[in-house]
Amino acid sequence: MRLARFAFPALLFLAGCAADTPGLPARQEIAPGVSLTLPATPPFGAEAQAVQLVRASHGGRNDRFQATIETSPSRFALAMTVPSGPHLMTIEWQEGAIAVRRGLAPESVPVARLLADFMLVYAPDEALRAALSGGIFVVSGGGTRRIFRNRELLVEVRRPTENPWEGPARLRNFAYDYDLVIDSHWIAPE
């Protein structure tokens, strides 16, 4: 029980409602009146593998989890664990479907929200423009992405400019008051 109180808040604060495995394409609200459409095929581009340590902050809480990611033009796989600990969940996105295998993560963890956040940080600019509705997407120098609605900044992402999978990234969702700080390390192909 103690593990559940401390390991899951990083995921639970993202929940607005119970999370079923979404059918694709699926719309995910990222701010009031602004959504991303998760396409049938993952939009992350070329093949990549990365390991990450993610710090999630919301409402004065700071929590951490580890992520291992494998992506290709047709598949995205994410395995999440408590740092050096038990399995939380695995998400696999391919061929127009999302499969979720839950370890300790409860059903209320919002799979579509997690995938939308990964899109905001790691999808190419063109894929985000195509998926975004209700907001204005602006790319600035230095790896900064912003989403506005009615001149209000709703979401800001800072990510590495060369290889987005290598180095620090940060997603700040001002509309829903959460912050993700990601330390990502790209695993070079052998």
How does pLDDT run across 95-130, given as a tens digit for each residue? Answer: 889 999 988 887 777 899 999 999 999 999 999 999
Q: HEC profile for 142-154?
A: HHEEEEEECCEEE
Structure-block tokens of residue 64:
């951490």
> Which segments in the chain show pLDDT lower than 50?
1-19
Q: What pLDDT was estimated at residue 98?
A: 92
Domains in the chain: boundaries? 2-186
Q: What pLDDT was estimated at residue 188?
A: 79
Residues 6+ apart with CB under 8 A from 5: none
Q: What pLDDT was estimated at residue 45?
A: 85
- Give, in words, the CATH class of 2-186: mainly beta
Q: What pLDDT was estimated at residue 21?
A: 62
Residues 6+ apart with CB under 8 A from 53: 64, 65, 66, 67, 83, 182, 183
CA distance between the termini of the chain:
41
Outline where DSSP puts E strands in the chain: 26-31, 34-38, 48-58, 61-72, 75-81, 87-94, 97-102, 132-133, 136-140, 144-149, 152-158, 167-173, 178-186
Q: What pLDDT was estimated at residue 22?
A: 64
Q: What sign results for the dihedral spanned by CA atoms 120, 13, 82, 156?
A: positive
Structure-block tokens of residue 52:
């990450």
| Global confidence as pTM | 0.86
Q: What pLDDT was estimated at residue 9?
A: 38
Q: Is the Cβ–Cβ distance between 116 and 15 less than 8 Å?
A: no
How many residues are present in the chain?
190
Q: What pLDDT was estimated at residue 3?
A: 35
Structure-block tokens of residue 90:
């695995």
Q: What pLDDT was estimated at residue 37?
A: 95
The residue assigned the tokens 């291992």 is 68
Q: Is the Cβ–Cβ distance between 58 and 179 less than 8 Å?
A: yes
